[in-house]
């Protein structure tokens, strides 16, 4: 991540109000130079909460028309666990086309990328980036920033859960040195085969480390586990390199 984005997320981590979410998302929109960014939460009881850069007119219109029921982005993300480009969603129905026409008329861009997030007790959320540009420009943007946006999405959800009224934080469990190493290499962008090779273990053993870390962190998937480990300061990737990790592994083996 760029230093500007890292500073924004550090400020978000220190925030203790929902206003901090809004401040962060405005800053991130500007840092990524896109038209809109939105975080949208739906609790198990149906309560909605959001922060973002859509106009008040569109937000009020969305709620008044109860678009949550027909929004292809919400419906598509609810059926998926992985990020999705809006062009891969089903916009074929008449209601979906009318919804899209209304959204564009209220200033939304023609391109979108949404990250679905599932939390405890039925909580569901989405983090969305929206922009107006051609397909080639958008493909280049999402290819370049996909990993960053996924991590940012989980940072936002983590903070939203922390701010939820009456939430009792889950007790944290320390990660083992090998779990820290695995999470660090994944955070650096290594594929699982590369991580296993660097750690000199089998992919089966690596999977056990990752699953153990995911359980300790209360994460829904590996990406969420990496995001939580970063957010809690359990792993640090700044300045880390393959040589650093290999040296650490050799030192542990020697000891």
Alpha-carbon span 89 to 77, nearest angstrom: 9
* pLDDT tens digit sequence for 7-16: 998 888 888 8
pTM above 0.75, yes or no: no
Residues 123 and 230 in one domain: no
Crossing angle (nearest 10°) for helices 177-187 and 192-199: 140
Q: CB count, 10 Å around CB of 18?
A: 13
Give the pLDDT score at 74: 87
Residues 238 and 215 in one domain: yes
Q: Tokens 């480390």 correspond to what residue?
A: 209
Residues 106 and 229 in one domain: no
Residues 188 and 149 in one domain: no
In a domain, 112, yes or no: yes
Residues 138 and 198 in one domain: no
Last-in-domain residue among 132, 162, 192: 162
Give the pLDDT score at 251: 39
Q: Tokens 């709620």 correspond to what residue?
A: 63
Q: Which residues of the chain have pLDDT under 70?
A: 1, 43-47, 120-122, 165-172, 237-255
3-state secondary structure 167-218: CCCCCCCCCCHHHHHHHHHHHCCCCHHHHHHHHCCCHHHHHHHHHHHHHHHC
* pLDDT tens digit sequence for 60-104: 999 899 888 899 998 888 888 889 999 999 999 999 999 999 999
Domain with 188 in it: 177-254
In a domain, 232, yes or no: yes
Give the pLDDT score at 68: 83
In a domain, 172, yes or no: no
Residues 249 and 140 in one domain: no
Residue 179 CB partners (closer than 8 Å, separation 6+):
209, 210, 212, 213, 216
Number of domains in the chain: 2
């Amino acid at each position: 991540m760029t230093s500007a984005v890292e500073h924004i997320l550090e400020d978000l981590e220190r925030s203790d109000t929902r206003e901090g979410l809004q401040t962060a998302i405005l800053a991130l929109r500007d840092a990524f130079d896109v038209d809109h960014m939105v975080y949208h939460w739906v609790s198990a009881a149906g309560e909605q909460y959001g922060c973002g850069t859509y106009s008040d007119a569109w937000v009020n219109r969305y709620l008044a028309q109860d678009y949550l029921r027909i929004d292809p982005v919400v419906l598509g993300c609810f059926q998926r666990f992985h990020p999705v480009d809006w062009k891969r969603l089903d916009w074929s129905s008449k209601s979906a086309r009318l919804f899209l026409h209304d959204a564009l008329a209220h200033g939304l861009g023609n391109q979108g990328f949404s990250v679905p997030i599932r939390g405890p007790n039925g909580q569901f959320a989405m983090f969305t980036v929206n922009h107006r540009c051609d397909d080639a420009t958008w493909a280049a943007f999402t290819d370049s920033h996909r990993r960053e946006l996924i991590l940012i999405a989980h940072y936002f959800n983590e903070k939203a859960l922390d701010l939820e009224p009456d939430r009792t934080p889950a007790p944290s469990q320390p990660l083992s040195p090998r779990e820290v190493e695995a999470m660090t290499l994944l955070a650096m962008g290594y594929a699982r085969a590369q991580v296993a090779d660097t750690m000199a273990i089998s992919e089966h053993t690596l999977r056990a480390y990752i699953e153990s870390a995911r359980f300790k962190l209360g994460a829904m998937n590996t990406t969420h586990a990496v995001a939580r480990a970063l957010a809690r300061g359990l792993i640090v990737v700044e300045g880390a390199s393959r040589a650093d990790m290999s040296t650490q592994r050799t030192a542990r083996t020697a000891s």
